[in-house]
Chain A
Amino acid sequence: MKKYLLAIVPLLMSGTAYAACSPDYTGVTLKVSTQNGPAIASALQAAGKLWEEKTCGKVEVVEFPFGDLYTKFLTAMSQQTGDFDVIGFVPAWVPDFAPFLSTMPAEIQQGADWEDIHPVYRERLMSWNGEIKSATMDGDMHMLNYRADLFEDAKNKEEFKAKYGYDLAAPKTWKEYLDAAEFFTGAHGAKFGTAEAYKRGGQQFWYFFSHAASYTNNPNYAGSMFFDPETMDAQINNPGWLRALEEYKKALDFNPPGSLNNGSGDVRPLYAGGTVAMNLDWADSGVLGATEGSIKGNVRTAVLPGSTEIWNAKAKAWDKFDTPVASPFLAFGGWQLGVPADGKNQAAAWDFVALTISPAVSGKAIVTANSGVNPYRLSHYSNLENWSSIFTKEEAESYLGAQRASLDSPNVALDLRLPGFNSYTDVLEVELSKALAGEVEPQAALDTIAAEWNKLTDEFGRDSQLAAYRASMGLPALK
């Protein structure tokens, strides 16, 4: 009897071990690559440990500087080196990467976990030419951050109303934004009104796009913000973009001195440290302000200001609206995971992706310091309890509410996603910098950008660029 028992115990133990590997990827090592940590890379490492425990496989996270990612990934995939099993990249690169990425397995594209991803990410950013080529692991958009202690101060409210004739509140239009920025510059509890990024190479163009979306993302002519979706002619020198550039430049008057050299990294501490009353930024400013800044408890977030006038690129006239139309801009769009088609472990790779973006794992990542992961699931926005370690109840409601409202906005504006994205934005950055520095007039700068964009489009192939642009804007192919 004793002998039988001794024989059964190891069998039972091996059976337990076998059950723990589900699915069993023993002997499989996944090479997962993204930018240098901690942001995003640390989230992938944490998910990697969980995946190893679950499947008995191994995960090796390979990190590269952000500037090297694009070239490394594209070279590896186009040369079919099989270097990476999973890559973490940004949506703007999807047009260039899509031919080399495998499609997400159908079983991941169903069920409650799938439906839980916000439709803007699920149906628009993760999709390319009707196929799911990537999985969002981080939600990103520009928002307006402001300080409750200043905006809710009774004396400030009174003085603001006396000066501008309307109530002090989170700005609904860019005019209101400039008014509030002016009001708080050098007075009323703040040193400066606002902070935005203006530095070339400091992600400035996304801030400019956030202004421009309000004047150019016309719901009556969908997809016409950057290019005419029928001809692929650049729209960046139209009156909507000009107004955006003039206001973006005007806001410099209410930014701290030397802001022409501020990148997005500088904008955050200026808000969190209490130097400015507002800023435009991704979700990072809110978390920094609530955790490490001097404005704890006073962090408030709102949807980006909108406009009652939007330029219609087809009619070549301003379309007027009774109330301000919000056009929240999904700047950057958040990090995504993709599985290269030349990978040897594609099933295991997609299993890792599914685990990383699962509600349980991602729900933990979004409230982990320095993970770089921001909400993108419906459950992320509704679970206020999850955020209690970072925010007060008011802060969490405002922070999550603004993100959810941005995504739910019927006129949400998607970022530019086009082959040769960097070529387009490089031209933009150079001329934008010149206009901001006063070297050239705004209209002249925009005309130069438009001419260069049209030249690039012709060089890359107008028809193929038009097809890619329409796909990125969720428009059907032209017949």
Chain B
Amino acid sequence: MSVGTAPDRVKYLFIWPAFLVVLTVSLFPLIYALIVSFQAVRLVPPVPPRFVGLDNYAQVLGSGRFWGAMWTTTIIVFVSVALQYVIGFTLALVLHHNVPGAALYRVSFLLPMFLAPVGVALIARMIFHPVLGPVNALITGLGFPTVTFLTDPALAISVLILVEVWQWTPFVVLLMLAGLQGLPAEVFEAARVDNIPVLRRFRDITFPMLLPLSTAVVFIRLIEGYKVVDTAFVLTGGGPGTATETLTLYAYYEGFRKFNIGMTSALSFVFLVVVTIAGTLYLVAAQRLARRYR
């Protein structure tokens, strides 16, 4: 027995270097941020770190601005990801069936994804500009009054959703198309021989077979969606008022304008909890749906 345990212990020594690298690279920043979140730390004007317990968390959770940002972000994320999935999957199905000019469509559909979000937001800002933008030029040209897309709270959120959908639907198209191309052709061949209608084929074969991929795609988009900051910053700056302020934009203002590092760290951890809860709820719902198709 004793002969066998000595080499067993030695093997752990070989794991330590890798463990230390992981600890330093990924865990240390998180642990450091967690410690800072319990302190009052300001870079400007420099205030010496002071332990304040849960004060930063209480300040974040007691702030109306935080809850407003949370609500705004959740609306933008859930509506835009739902639209991205539906439109993206539809486009992928169309492209999968080799419509004429499919190669051209494939490239042009993917283009928005390659643009920097800041650039996309700038383009959108010009398009929806009340005086200089083409959308309002068309609207007023038709005799209707100018629509203030970016200064009406509901419209401004709609524009943000539209921009998110325009930019990130190609990501869904790309992955769903890859998934469609990986499905076994024999199953569809058999369904065609059995004369199963197209819609039923989709409902009973395509959709269930792509459900694991769909779950992953939507999950990635949900997590990414919660990080939306540049689009909101350029398009509206979080306004009018705080109507389009997202969680990350709120954290940006706290961290990089006020340099309130303690509170920003607390905000980051609350943000982490929010994303984890949203992700977990989504995965539970996805699992239930998957069970229905088993």
Residues of chain A at the chain B interface (Cβ within 8 Å) = 67, 70-71, 74, 78, 96, 199-202, 256-261, 263, 269-270, 275, 419-420, 422-423, 425-426, 430, 433-434, 436-437, 439, 459-460
Residues of chain B at the chain A interface (Cβ within 8 Å) = 42-47, 65, 129-132, 146, 148-151, 153, 233, 236-243, 253, 256-260
Known: A256-B131, A258-B130, A430-B65. A74 touches B240 (CB 8 A): no
Checking B44, B47, B65 against A422 with a beta-carbon cut-off of 8 angstroms, the contacting residue is: B44
Known: A257-B131, A261-B236. A423 touches B260 (CB 8 A): yes
**Do B131 and A270 touch across chains, with their CB atoms under 8 A apart?**
yes
Q: Report the minimal beta-carbon distance from B139 to chain A, rounded to whole angstroms.
A: 11
Specify the chain A residue showing the minimal Cβ separation from B238: A200
Residue numbers in A under 8 Å from B42 (CB-CB): 420, 459
Known: A201-B233, A422-B259. A460 touches B45 (CB 8 A): yes
Given contacts A275-B131, A422-B257, 15 further A-B contacts (CB under 8 A): A96-B45, A200-B238, A201-B238, A258-B148, A260-B150, A261-B130, A261-B150, A261-B151, A261-B240, A420-B42, A426-B253, A430-B241, A434-B242, A437-B239, A439-B243
Specify the chain B residue showing the minimal Cβ separation from A276: B131
Chain A at the B interface: SS class: helix
How many interface contacts (CB-CB < 8 Å) are there between A and B? 98
Cα(A96)–Cα(B259), bound, Å: 13
Enumerate the 7 nearest inter-chain pairs by beta-carbon distance, A residue then B residue, closest first. A258-B130, A437-B240, A201-B237, A419-B45, A260-B151, A437-B241, A434-B241
Residue contacts A-B, CB under 8 angstroms, 16 given: A74-B44, A96-B44, A200-B237, A201-B238, A258-B131, A259-B130, A261-B150, A261-B237, A270-B131, A420-B258, A425-B257, A433-B239, A436-B240, A436-B241, A437-B240, A439-B242
**Do B257 and A256 touch across chains, with their CB atoms under 8 A apart?**
no
Residue numbers in A under 8 Å from B150 (CB-CB): 258, 260-261
Most buried by A among B131, B153, B253: B131
**Do B151 and A419 touch across chains, with their CB atoms under 8 A apart?**
no
Residue numbers in B under 8 Å from A269 (CB-CB): 132
**Do B45 and A67 touch across chains, with their CB atoms under 8 A apart?**
no
**Do B47 and A433 touch across chains, with their CB atoms under 8 A apart?**
no
Specify the chain A residue showing the minimal Cβ separation from B236: A261
Residue numbers in A under 8 Å from B233 (CB-CB): 201
Known: A201-B237, A258-B150, A430-B65. A459 touches B47 (CB 8 A): yes
Cα(A261)–Cα(B243), bound, Å: 12
Q: Report the minimal beta-carbon distance from A471 to chain B, rounded to whole angstroms.
A: 14
Residue numbers in B under 8 Å from A96 (CB-CB): 44-45
Cα(A183)–Cα(B282), bound, Å: 57
Specify the chain B residue showing the minimal Cβ separation from A256: B131
Cα(A257)–Cα(B240), bound, Å: 13
**Do B237 and A199 touch across chains, with their CB atoms under 8 A apart?**
yes
**Do B239 and A261 touch across chains, with their CB atoms under 8 A apart?**
yes
**Do A67 and B258 touch across chains, with their CB atoms under 8 A apart?**
no
Residue numbers in A under 8 Å from B130 (CB-CB): 256-259, 261
Cα(A469)–Cα(B159), bound, Å: 42
Residue numbers in B under 8 Å from A261 (CB-CB): 130, 148, 150-151, 236-237, 239-240
Q: Report the minimal beta-carbon distance from A415 to chain B, rounded to whole angstroms.
A: 17
